[in-house]
């Protein structure tokens, strides 16, 4: 780790400060390589974010406004994210896979004032979708008088050659043109603890739950993720995670920005397209959930592509990590553990550990992150080697779910500790081992254990 990174006080870092940090230090380095052969350097991060921020401000966007981003993994996703949070806004990442009812619920529950989405993508016409949501005023559709979404004031549409933005929406191109390229990013007095993201995750009885995360929480988490991966300028980082998920936002966009790596993305997950990009751009870093790697490895054309450039990365799933190491020959593959409520990643493996340790354990907690194991029945903390519910505490733990007091009280205790609902154990030397889900556990001899598993002391 360079002295440059260590000299920065990451405890006070905000997203606007990260824009300046990255654009100053990595100005001429490539930030983005997109599947459609679009290339952006780190200077673009500052220039385009500034222009979009100026354009947003002209529409009336102000500090505290909430903006939903429902886009594919376009480079523009990151630029609008930095623009909005740089103005003091709160970003609500939304999945393009949401149903009409899920879109309406998320926009309503999160109090979104703005939304940015494509006119069409993947065969879905989003103009048609929003015309079903917006009321008709006279002969025109309008956001005025929309009782179902009273806070929604503007919809920004990212047009395509097939479909341009309708009259009732703001064109993304117009938003960009309205901004001034040479205008410095304004200082809105953003505090590191200010809310930056409402990250939705599926909820069992309550539909979607919006996890609240601050500027500093997500930037600091990205710093520790990138540090664990030993990211550096020149790394070609194939991130397979979607940006609407915290793994793609924090582990992809932000970790790359902190360390000056080049992010390589596809619009959505397409195994063969990812394999092609790995080969053509000589990617040396890869990230993804276990299902991602399973689909890559099982693709009928997997053996046709040269992925030998891959040297390091992260995944979930013990058996999958072993295959990534053995079949894909990614020597520096590590596991991790975290949840949206813990700013995504709380523990991460070390490349210095033998592969059997990296396979069996999900790593040690990041500095300042507390991991305890408690009995899910009695609530008492358990000793190393004993299986119980994983509980997280520290700077990375969310303040709770947006406008969900009851759900927050059930998941977070009075000390701010988050009860994850996952089973695990700590080893004597401080590693976390994931063992399953609490709801899948059984009582065996008075001890909580994962179904079909027996905990072993290490």
Residues 6+ apart with CB under 8 A from 409: none
Residue 425's DSSP bridge partners are 433
Residues of the chain with pLDDT under 50: 1, 137-139, 204-205, 441-458
State the pLDDT at residue 223: 97
- pTM of the predicted structure, to 2 decimals: 0.93
Return the domain boundaries, the chain.
9-19+38-197, 368-458
Residues forming beta bridges with residue 423, ordered by sequence position = 389, 436
CATH 2.30.38.10 at 368-458, yes or no: yes
The pLDDT value recorded for residue 2 is 53
**Between β-strands 66-69 and 170-171, what pairing exists: parallel, antiparallel or unpaired?**
unpaired
Q: What is the pLDDT of residue 165?
A: 85
Q: How far from 54 is each of 49, 185, 326, 347, CA to CA, in Å?
A: 9, 9, 49, 38
Whether the Cβ atoms of residue 14 and residue 215 lie closer than 8 Å to each other:
yes
Q: What is the pLDDT of residue 142?
A: 58
DSSP symbol at 457: -
In angstroms, rounded to a whole number, what is the distance separating the alpha carbons of residues 361 and 431?
Answer: 6
State the pLDDT at residue 140: 54
pLDDT score at 8? 86
Q: Which has the closest alpha carbon to 346: 220, 437, 232, 216?
A: 220
Q: How far apart are CA 330 and CA 292, in angstroms?
A: 15
Between β-strands 285-287 and 388-394, what pairing exists: parallel, antiparallel or unpaired? unpaired
CATH number of 9-19+38-197: 3.40.50.980
Task: Determine the 3-state secondary structure of 61 from DSSP.
Answer: coil
Residues contacting 130, CB < 8 A, separation 6+: 117, 155, 169
């Amino acid at each position: 780790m360079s002295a440059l990174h260590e000299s920065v006080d990451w405890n006070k870092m905000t997203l606007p400060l990260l824009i300046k940090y990255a654009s100053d230090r990595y100005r001429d380095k490539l930030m983005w390589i997109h599947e459609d052969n679009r290339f952006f350097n780190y200077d673009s991060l500052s220039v385009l974010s500034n222009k979009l921020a100026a354009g947003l401000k002209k529409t009336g966007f102000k500090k505290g406004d909430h903006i939903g981003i429902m886009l594919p993994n376009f480079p523009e996703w990151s630029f609008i994210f930095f623009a909005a949070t740089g103005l003091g806004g709160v970003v609500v990442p939304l999945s393009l896979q949401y149903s009409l009812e899920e879109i309406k619920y998320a926009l309503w529950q999160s109090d979104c004032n703005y939304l940015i989405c494509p006119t069409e993508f993947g065969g879905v016409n989003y103009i048609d979708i929003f015309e079903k949501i917006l009321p008709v005023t006279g002969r025109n559709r309008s956001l005025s008088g929309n009782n179902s979404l009273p806070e929604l004031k503007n919809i920004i549409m990212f047009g395509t050659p097939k479909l341009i933005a309708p009259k009732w929406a703001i064109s993304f191109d117009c938003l960009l043109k309205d901004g001034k390229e040479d205008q410095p990013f304004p200082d809105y007095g953003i505090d590191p603890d200010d809310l930056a993201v409402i990250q939705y995750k599926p909820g069992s009885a309550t539909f979607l739950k919006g996890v609240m995360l601050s500027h500093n929480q997500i930037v600091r988490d990205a710093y520790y993720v990138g540090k664990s991966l030993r990211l550096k300028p020149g790394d070609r980082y194939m991130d397979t995670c979607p940006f609407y998920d915290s793994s793609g936002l924090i582990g992809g966009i932000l970790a790359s920005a902190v360390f000056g790596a080049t992010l390589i993305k596809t619009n959505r997950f397409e195994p063969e397209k990812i394999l092609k990009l790995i080969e053509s751009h000589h990617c040396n870093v890869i990230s993804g959930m276990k299902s991602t790697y399973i689909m890559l490895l099982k693709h009928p054309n997997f053996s046709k592509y040269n992925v030998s450039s891959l040297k390091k990365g992260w995944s979930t799933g013990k058996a999958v990590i072993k295959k990534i190491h053995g079949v894909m020959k990614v020597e520096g593959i590590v596991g991790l553990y975290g949840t949206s409520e813990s700013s995504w990643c709380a523990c991460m493996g070390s490349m210095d550990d033998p592969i059997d340790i990296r396979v069996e354990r999900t790593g040690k907690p990041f500095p300042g992150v507390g991991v305890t194991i408690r009995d899910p029945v009695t609530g008492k903390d358990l000793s190393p080697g004993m299986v119980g519910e994983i509980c997280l505490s520290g700077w990375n733990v969310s303040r709770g779910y947006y406008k969900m007091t009851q759900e927050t009280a059930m998941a977070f205790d009075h000390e701010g500790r988050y009860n994850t609902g996952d089973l695990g154990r700590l080893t004597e030397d401080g590693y976390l081992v994931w063992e399953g889900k609490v709801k899948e556990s059984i009582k065996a001899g008075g001890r909580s254990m994962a179904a079909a598993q027996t905990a072993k002391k290490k």
